Structure 1
Amino acid sequence: MDKINNLVLFLLLVLNIVWTSNAQDDDNPVVWSQELNKISDTEYELLMVGKIANDWHVYSQNTPEGGSLPSVFSYPRAGIDYELIGKTKESETQSEYVEAFELEEVFFKKEAIFTQKVKLLNSEVQQIDVNLSYQVCKEVCIMVEKDFNFPLNGTAVVKEEKTVDERSLALSSALKLNLKNNELLTNSVDKALESKSGLWTIFGLGFLGGLIALLTPCVFPMIPLTVSFFTKHSAKRSKGVANALLYGFFIVLIYFLLSLPFHLFDSVDSQILNTIATNVWLNVAFFLIFVFFAFSFFGYYELTLPSSWANKMDAASSNVGGVIGIFFMAVTLAIVSFSCTGPILGGLLGSTTLAQGDVATNLSAGMTGFGVALALPFALFALFPTWLNSLPKSGGWMTTVKVVLGFLELGLALKFLSNADLVGNWGLLKREIFLALWIILAVLLTLYLFGIFGFSHDGPKQKLSFGRKITGVISGAFAVYLILGMMNMTNLKLLSGFPPPDFYSIKETESDCPLGIDCFKDFDSGVAHAKSVNKPILLDFTGWACVNCRKMEENVWSEPAIYPILKNDYILISLYIDDRKELPQEEQFDFKFESGRVKTIETVGQKWGTFQTLNFNSASQPYYVLLSPDLEVLNGPIQQVDADTYRTWLSAGLLKYQDLAQNRTGKKNKTVK
């Protein structure tokens, strides 16, 4: 029992973690400052500090290859005017496992600090120039370059303008497109997808959890007892009703207060809840906790908080009258019912952790929803006491509810174990194995609900109730749904985010193009093919490390109303902005911006990133443009949108292309005549 209580206290300790946020303007995701510290006559320390906007993040120099683009520093005169002392150091980072790329990415939140020590080789040096190339991401990812100039004498030095040779000028000129109808580029459709895990969704999950908790033996019998206490032990019925309503309010308040530590204590790692999905051992710990929760629901042991806590709260409610006494009664209920509510709250914690957005705010919404559902019957039955007569009697049905919850806890436990498996790259819970285990759980639950087997605390067998049969049918249908999904006879979009991704499979499949659609990764080759087959172009600015790009491909492009259009009616040109493959030496060149800054184009990604900025004044991905083979813009560009908006956008582009084709044909016929 002590070990179990220790596990519970561990979970409560995890619950005392916080999330802090600082507001900043999203239009300027990173604001940079610099400082030069003189160590000696020949040694200096360069300090570069970036203040990162709320919810944005910048990737570390050390984020693994194959994921998002790291921060890269270049020192043009290193080895000539000065030498670098060691590597560029950086401040504390965070990490998160990204399923789409099967690796743990490293990044900065709120602030990034870089320091580099240098030693002068040339006493005449007046300024040290540093270039930083980095990727900053939120809903979209933006490639940014930042130049730092450190004057050694305290005054800025005007740099000699870098010249660009004729070959570079020619290659730069080739990047610029002669777009027609380019006024459409200003009609950007940038309606972003709303998060499915909004506050109301989380509140609804919490409310549902509270309703389930009401059906457990720890809470259900308390409803008539507590309501009767307030209505019968008050001089006036109105006073009893008021006390019961106050009691319900305090229940909501208590569960809301449980979420406050996540907002208040910024001394604790504010990202710990987000890193649950990336930390192997924390995932394993949660897996074990939820397994223990499940077996407590199966009746093998009771999972309770120390009884002294409940005794002290009960004594306080008796000794202190009025409002404070009612508050302590509500606290007593929360402690006494923990055996049943604790695992449900743990599930709420898991759902909140796996959701997108501000974890602290999500958790507050979920806990408030849980408290509202738990308090609702106390308020309603106090207002309408005759309803108490319609309440079903306590009995074996509540045990059934606990067992069902136990199976749900095991399913959630497997999700945390899957997270650990993905991060650790153990290969234990491939997608098919994970689904098979969920199928086994669903089948066992179905067999239990239909009375094929039972647990020791079930009591004597009785006639199956209608509700139990319906739940059994639902559980069996879910098992069939999983089986069909594992056999690829249906998709499992309803479970998106829970099973491992498709690529984490026993039989791994790889494709160079999204969804097997034929695509080109070079613009000129794609345009030439589009001309030969007389089809319009879907220009897809994407990235290997672009999670939102994968979401669009898997959830929008895969739609039956959209996929055939992409496959049959358009020529797909996918340009990967973060492709680090080096261009052939003869294709590398210096590109000079209008500001006078010169950038060396050495990689495929640098080329297409500059191409996107130069022609479409955009640096975000995903970013889609519709063009004719003659480079006429067919519709305004679009980013991450819902399927209906995307389909309408594609169809409008096709109609525009057909009109252009008819106009050209008409002109030719007129010429012939």
Structure 2
Amino acid sequence: MKRIFFALLFSFFTIGSIAQIQEPVKFSAELKITSDSEAEIIFTGTIDDGWHVYSTGLPSGGPISSSITIEEIKGAETDGKLTFRGSEIKAFDKVFEINLRYFEKNVVFVQKIKITAPVYQIKGYLEYAACNEESCLPPADVSFNYTNGNVEVATGNSQTGVSGVSGLSEVGSDYWAPVIKELDNFGETFGKGDIPWMYIFITGFSGGLLALFTPCVWPIIPMTVSFFLKKNKDRKRGIRDAVTYGVSIIVIYVLLGLAITLIFGASALNALSTNAIFNILFFLMLVIFAASFFGAFEITLPSSWSTAVDSKAEKTGGLIGIFLMAFTLALVSFSCTGPIIGFLLVEVSTTGSIVAPAIGMLGFAVALALPFTFFALFPSFLKSAPKSGGWMNVVKVFLGFIELAFALKFLSVADLAYGWGILDRETFLSLWIVIFGLLGIYMLGKLKFPHDDDGTKVSIPRFFLGLFSIAFAIYMIPGLWGAPLKAISAFSPPMNTQDFNLYTKEVHAKFDDFDIGMEYAKKNGKPVMIDFTGYGCVNCRKMELAVWTDSRVSKIIDNDYILITLFVDDKRPLRQPISITENGKEITLKSIGDKWSYLQRIKFGANAQPFYILLDNDGKPLNKSYAYDESIDKYVEFLQTGLNNYKK
């Protein structure tokens, strides 16, 4: 299992983002008329080096065979089975323990057709599977639609395998008609599902406070205070320069937040938050930083950088010198603040707001700048501050465990968005139980790392942190059997990834397709509840475990509504990408998540998750929408109001 896990990680880095970038197989389709009553549907495929496509009629228990599915046929009929032309390779596969047949370089599949009427229609798709020595792609298909001999070819190798998910022919149907004005009549306030700016600021501020106690930041305090007192003999000027220094720190980090948003864009940052390569890179980065904090190695920027900036600050007078000193702080502390800043930016990027990263960085910078300004104003307090030493390494190791735990969250987001199935809920919880259990043992002094002082006694705060960590690990154990674990619902994978589940109070969606769910609700005369959610949506998990598990809420949803859950960050590709025009700009919807995100924007004028909306059987709203609010009474009122309006 371990070898498979690391092989998967290696394959993602060597071949890129499988779902988004790699197209090792390209097919084209054509209808060739061979006589008045006969024709052939010919699929011509080119295969990249190192890849192969499996042949037809493989034995059961192995990979997917190449096959053709006829969805509609009028005025014609199939003549025999799907055949192939090309050099078929036969080999015994040690994994499946069967003889397999496949093609390399190129392949041609042929389906013969008998034409029985002058007017005919043949519609369907070819399905195939492609693999190399390290990994396989999801099953892909090549669609075709021929009417009266006029060819309408849908070529490509868009991967699918998603049951119940149709193409985008539904876009523009009555169900998709915008209802923004109707929501206005309910007193709708769009965007209230976004994370409040004050919350973002406080989150950034908390990150800044945490950074203050890292080994990279704490030792800089006496150095910088000494710099200002030595530079300015005049007390008033020293105070002024100290305040300027604090403002410079804030400006540097806020500019960083704005620069990241302007370079990538708010929507791009949101997309990055569920991108496979980005999340795996961040996962690996946090693991590397954790190993560094444990004492395996030191991560530092080149000393020449900070030395050059520091010396320039000494020689330069006025505001420029102070700003350069603040820049020195940012450089020297990067190895400790980098993971905290990165985690902060990823979390706020899901708001879709262009100013959210800047607000988060403002909070971070304010917390980081306050002690430097304070000690410059009151240097006598510096003498009473604890000196860096053994306790600093304890903080470092503590942060290493925390980073290791959060690293799994990023791997989980990528795993869920792309449907790999590497990190289900039991696996995630097992790893967290081990991590926090070991953290507790370390904090109690029973586990040592290379830089720990053997003679260090366990302080009272450290003792209680150790007890809390062990208690937290024990708290998570029932989750292996399906307990909700509301305290960590924002981080753990959703319940539907749990293989062994004894918990029976969950609310499950009846459909994951909007149009199919709406048709079902209309036939059965029930209102619809749409749940716009995301695999990487923290507040969505909180709502599901803190609100939906309440008996009053679950009873109404299960009995009175048709629940349709739509994941806006589902990266599984559609069978066929489609181009649409939005705000005068042509964009292409490639994934299932793209489709549902577009639906939320075009129909409801919103893009934040969680986003809950109640609809009648014509797709009209029954109440204003509901965003993140864990008040069960408010949620029950929201559902009940929708029911009352539906009955009217």
Native 8 Å contact 1:205 1:366 kept in 2:
yes
Q: 1:207 to 1:575 in 2, by over 3 A?
A: closer
Which aligned pairs between 1:562-641 and structure 2 lie closer than 5 A?
A: 562-564=553-555, 571-572=560-561, 623-624=613-614, 637-641=623-627
**Counterpart position of 1:58:** none
**Offset of residue 411 of structure 1:** 1.2
Which aligned pairs between 1:489-508 and structure 2 lie closer than 5 A?
A: 489=483, 491-507=484-500
Q: 1:319 to 1:105 in 2, by over 3 A?
A: farther
After superposition, the C-alpha distances for 1:347-385 in whole angstroms (9 at most, x for unaligned) are 3344345x4323x53322222222111110111223333
**Counterpart position of 1:605:** none
**Counterpart position of 2:395:** 401
Q: Distance in 1 between matches of 2:343 and 2:166?
A: 26
After superposition, the C-alpha distances for 1:213-247 in whole angstroms (9 at most, x for unaligned) are 21122221222332243235423211101111111
**Offset of residue 544 of structure 1:** 9.8
Of residues 381, 390, 415, the one that matches 2:384 is: 390
**Counterpart position of 1:237:** 235
**Counterpart position of 2:637:** 648
**Offset of residue 291 of structure 1:** 1.0
Q: Distance in 1 between matches of 2:566 and 2:407?
A: 38
**Offset of residue 457 of structure 1:** 0.3
When Rg is computed on C-alpha atoms for both structures, the one with the higher figure is 1
Give the letter aligned to residue 336 of structure 1: V
Q: Distance in 1 between matches of 2:645 and 2:152?
A: 59
After superposition, the C-alpha distances for 1:452-495 in whole angstroms (9 at most, x for unaligned) are 11101011232211221222222223212322333334x23343
* Corresponding residue SS for 2:550: coil
Which aligned pairs between 1:116-131 and structure 2 lie closer than 5 A?
A: none
After superposition, the C-alpha distances for 1:556-604 in whole angstroms (9 at most, x for unaligned) are 443344334556xx644568999xxxxxxxxxxxxxxxxxxxxxxxxxx
* Corresponding residue SS for 2:448: coil
Q: Distance in 2 between matches of 1:102 and 1:348?
A: 36
**Offset of residue 450 of structure 1:** 0.3
* Corresponding residue SS for 2:527: strand
**Offset of residue 405 of structure 1:** 0.8
**Offset of residue 346 of structure 1:** 3.2
Q: Distance in 2 between matches of 1:398 and 1:306?
A: 22
* Corresponding residue SS for 1:624: strand
Which aligned pairs between 1:35-74 and structure 2 lie closer than 5 A?
A: none
**Offset of residue 187 of structure 1:** 6.2
Q: Percent identity?
A: 39
Native 8 Å contact 2:249 2:365 kept in 1:
yes
Native 8 Å contact 1:293 1:409 kept in 2:
yes
Q: TM-score, normalised by structure 1?
A: 0.56
Give the letter aligned to residue 499 of structure 1: S
Q: TM-score, normalised by structure 2?
A: 0.58
Native 8 Å contact 1:520 1:574 kept in 2:
no
Q: RMSD over aligned Cα, in angstroms?
A: 5.0
Which aligned pairs between 1:253-332 and structure 2 lie closer than 5 A?
A: 253-265=251-263, 272-332=268-328
**Counterpart position of 2:573:** none
Unpaired runs of at least 5, structure 2? 1-124, 128-143, 512-516, 568-602
**Offset of residue 423 of structure 1:** 4.5
Of residues 534, 550, 567, the one that matches 1:559 is: 550
Q: 1:260 to 1:191 in 2, by over 3 A?
A: closer
Native 8 Å contact 2:261 2:357 kept in 1:
no
Give the letter aligned to residue 310 of structure 1: S
Structure number with the bigger relative contact order (C-alpha 8 A, sep ≥ 6) is: 1
Of residues 413, 435, 457, the one that matches 1:441 is: 435
**Counterpart position of 1:170:** none
Unpaired runs of at least 5, structure 1? 1-61, 65-73, 108-131, 146-183, 528-537, 579-616, 628-632, 661-673
**Counterpart position of 1:143:** 176
Native 8 Å contact 1:517 1:566 kept in 2:
no
Q: Distance in 1 between matches of 2:225 and 2:183?
A: 64
After superposition, the C-alpha distances for 1:57-77 in whole angstroms (9 at most, x for unaligned) are xxxxx9x9xxxxxxxxx99xx
Q: 1:544 to 1:307 in 2, by over 3 A?
A: closer
After superposition, the C-alpha distances for 1:401-438 in whole angstroms (9 at most, x for unaligned) are 11111111111211222234335544321110011101
The count of residues paired between Structure 1 and Structure 2 equals: 452
